[in-house]
Structure formats: C-alpha cells, structure tokens
C-alpha cells in the first residue's frame, strides 16, 4: 500500500488493526485452534460498507466525521472466518460514477497506466487487487460498478444474484439494484469468499434463503449471446475480436454457442437511469445535516440549513442524479417516466428469463471500450451513462454476472468478457469462467 500511494487507492488504512488481527491469528495456530475458511485472507472494503469504529463516508463531504456504529453483515462473516480487513478503498461518491472521478478524496488511478481510469464506482477496490495490496476486495454493484472496474484493471469481478448477499451495512444508492460484489485475481478465490458471505440475513428482508447446496444445476452446455450487443456501433473492434475468439474457444470445449436477437438493447440504459435516480433521490433524502455527518453553519433557519447542507455536502454528479430522480417521481411525470420504466424492466426480465429457460448462460462484453484516459468524459455525463449498456442488464434482472480478463489490446490495456447465469447459479458461473481464463 505504501508503494502505491500515488494511485490514491485507499482512503483509510488499518495498519495497527490489521497487525493486531494477524497476531491474534498467529496465536490460533500456536494453540492448535481450528482455523477459519479464509484464514489470513487480506481484504479491502469499499468506502460504502460499514465497519464498526471506522469512518464511513461514501467518498462524500455529506458524511464528514461519521464513524460507523456497527459492522455490515458481510464484515461479520469475513471476520468470523479469520479474514483481515486492511482498509477502505476510494470510490465514486455514493457509488455514482464509472471512472472514480467523483470522489471527495480525488481520483483513483489505474495501476497499469496511471493516466487512465480504473473504472467505477468501485475503482479503488479493483486497483487494490490489481496492485497486490490485498487478496480480495469488496465492492458494490448497482449497474456494473464491480464488473466494469474489474474489466478496466484486468481482474475478476462477481456481481451475485440480487438478495444472495446481505446488504445490511451497505450505504444505499438504489435499493432494488444494489448488490455487494467481490473482486479478486482468480475465480476460485472469489468462490471461497462468496461461500462465506452469501446467505440469508434476518437484518436484510430482501436476502435470499436459498442455500448454496440448492443452487440450480444443468447438464447441458448451451450459451447464448446477443447479436445487437456484439455488433454495437460503439464496441471497440479489438474487444469484439477477443469476444469472437472466446466464443470459438467455448465451442472447441464442447459448448453450444448461439446468437439471438434482443429487442430491448436501446431501452436498457434509459430504464436503468430513470429507476436508479428515482431510488437515489429517496435514499439520499436522509442526508440533511440533522442527524449525522456534515452540517452547514451558514444558515439562519432550519430550511436554509437543509438547503445549504445538501448544496455544500453533495458533489455535482450526486446532485445531478437526485434532481433527475426527483423529476421522474414528480406528480406530472411519474406515469410517463418512473411507471413506464418499471413496466419496461419487467419486459426485459421476462425476455431474459425466456432466454435462460432455453440456455444455461449468456455471454456478452463488459464495456464498449478499454479504460479511457482520466478526465475524457468528465463533462459528458450522457456518454458515461451510455458506457454501462452491457452491465446494467444483470442489475435490471437481478441475475448473477462475472467479468473476467479476456486478453489485452494493442496498447497493453485489459479487455474483458462477461458471463450471466440463472438466478443463484454463481458457483457454476465461476466454474465456467475458470475454464475460459
């Protein structure tokens, strides 16, 4: 971590705590005690996940000075299996961004080429694994925020099925989309961590009671891809070439890979951003300067305090999404935008369920391009939003998806490919991904 300070990966490093944890684990060895499943595994945690006694800011001024009073369920599970938490990683403010440029702590840089973006919003998490500062990173994925940075940084990123991993202790962005995800160097590493953090949690009503042993199994080997995605006008030709090579490799291994039509491609990003901004405007209303975090001192009335606190505390991108979400939820536009987007979401889900009834997996690109130069799209938010076209599908449908490295482009930057599976099929998904790597 000390050797990579210039990359701005961490916002908080628990050097004293980590060494104390390691010493406690040494004692367990000496005493001959039973060791946890993740004994000695070094884990970094995105700055949106609660860790008792440590600051939690979501990379935002609005949570200045806030210290988490409890551990997130995923943290409890990791510590119970003898993991070591090494620190909190940089991210886009409240998980809103695709380049780790919307952070109160400044931008995080890609370790392969520091002039390029590491992706977002879990950019720090991806670089923490990429630069070998930890073995595993926990991030959050609302529309691709684990898979896209994993793709940009040449590591593996898993977004589990919605509800598979407890969200208790995760700062909410869009509650029906958010999912804690895992970034690692190998599929087997991620599988071991997933086994520990997945499961029903009484503190999260949306968490699933389906056991890992009850996961769906299939003896067939049928994989689908969507022609409209592979032939997308913005898809980098080198990413397309790598994708084609991977599908050929799968066919050689005995898989049936077939192309399908998908009629909802143009609706994915609009549907995603209408719904997530609506949920964000509601979730972020709790940050008002009254109960915790930053409070503006430049106010004569309670009303002014609310306005000034939120104006000074939130960054530009967060304000943009709150305003958009408030607009689509307003009385005059609720039916035209929010309700319509909910209906389209159900149509998309029905279409994908139909595909996965006939096929075992869907293979698709992760990003339209490799990691772009930092600052390239900072004044063009729509272009950034459109770059999520291949990742938001898994969040709209609540399905598991994994991003895995798929070669390098001519500049030496990572290319990735993405696999989606049936709900709760994470283990099989990682096994298939392992065969591709």
List residues with catalytic annotation. 46, 121, 145
Contact indicator for 321, 280 with CB cutoff of 8 Å: yes
Cα dihedral 278→280→283→288 (10° resolution): -110
- C-beta of residue 195 within 8 angstroms of C-beta of residue 331: no
- Output b/e per residue, 280-308; b: 16+ Cβ within 10 A: bbbbbeebbbeebbbbbeeeeeeeebbeb
Phi/psi at 223 (5° precision): -125, 135
* Nearest Cα to Cα of residue 401 among 143, 218, 29: 143
Q: Kind of pairing, strands 156-159 and 180-184?
A: antiparallel
Please give the Cα distance from 68 to 45 (Å, whole number).
Answer: 13
* Rounded Cα–Cα distance for residues 135 and 185 (Å): 7
Phi and psi (nearest 5°) for 139? Answer: -130, -170
Using DSSP, state whether 89 is helix, strand or coil.
strand
**Gap between the Cα atoms of 100 and 378, Å rounded:** 11
């Amino acid at each position: 971590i000390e050797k990579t300070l210039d990359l701005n990966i961490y916002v908080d490093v628990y050097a004293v705590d980590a060494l104390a944890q390691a010493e406690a684990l040494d004692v367990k060895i000496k005493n001959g005690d039973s060791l946890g499943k993740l004994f000695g595994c070094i884990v970094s945690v995105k700055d949106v996940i609660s860790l008792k006694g440590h600051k939690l800011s979501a990379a935002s001024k609005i949570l200045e000075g806030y210290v988490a009073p409890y551990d997130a369920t995923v943290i409890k599970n990791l510590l119970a299996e003898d993991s070591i938490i090494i620190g909190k990683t940089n991210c886009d403010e409240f998980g809103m961004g695709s380049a780790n440029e919307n952070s109160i702590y400044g931008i995080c840089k890609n370790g392969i080429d520091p002039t390029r973006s590491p992706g977002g919003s879990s950019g720090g998490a991806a670089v923490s694994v990429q630069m070998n500062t930890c073995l595993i990173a926990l991030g959050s994925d609302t529309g691709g925020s684990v898979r896209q940075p994993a793709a940009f940084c040449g590591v593996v990123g898993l977004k589990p099925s919605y509800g598979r991993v407890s969200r208790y202790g995760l700062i909410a962005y869009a509650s029906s989309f958010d999912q804690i995800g895992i970034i690692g160097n190998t599929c087997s590493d991620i599988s071991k961590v997933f086994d520990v953090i997945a499961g029903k949690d009484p503190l999260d009503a949306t968490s699933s009671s389906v056991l890992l042993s009850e996961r769906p199994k299939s003896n067939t080997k049928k994989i689908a891809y969507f022609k409209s995605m592979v032939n997308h006008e913005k898809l980098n030709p080198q990413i397309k070439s790598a994708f084609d090579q991977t599908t050929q490799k799968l066919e050689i291994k005995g898989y049936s890979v077939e192309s399908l039509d998908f009629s909802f491609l143009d609706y994915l990003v609009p549907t995603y951003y209408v719904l997530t901004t609506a949920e964000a405007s509601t979730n972020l209303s709790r940050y008002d300067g009254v109960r915790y975090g930053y409070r503006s001192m430049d106010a004569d009335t309670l009303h002014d305090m609310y306005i000034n606190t939120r104006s000074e505390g939130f960054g530009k991108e967060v304000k943009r999404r709150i305003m958009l979400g408030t607009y689509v939820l307003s009385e005059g536009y609720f039916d035209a935008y929010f309700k319509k987007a909910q209906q389209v979401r159900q149509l998309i889900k029905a279409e994908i369920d139909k595909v996965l009834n006939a096929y075992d997996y869907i293979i698709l690109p992760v990003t339209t391009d490799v990691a772009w130069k930092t600052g390239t799209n900072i004044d063009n938010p729509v272009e950034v939003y459109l770059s999520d076209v291949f990742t938001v599908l898994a969040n709209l449908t609540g399905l598991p998806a994994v991003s895995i490295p798929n070669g390098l482009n001519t500049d030496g930057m990572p290319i990735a490919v993405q696999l989606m599976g049936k709900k709760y099929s994470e283990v099989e998904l990682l096994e298939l991904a392992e065969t591709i790597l």
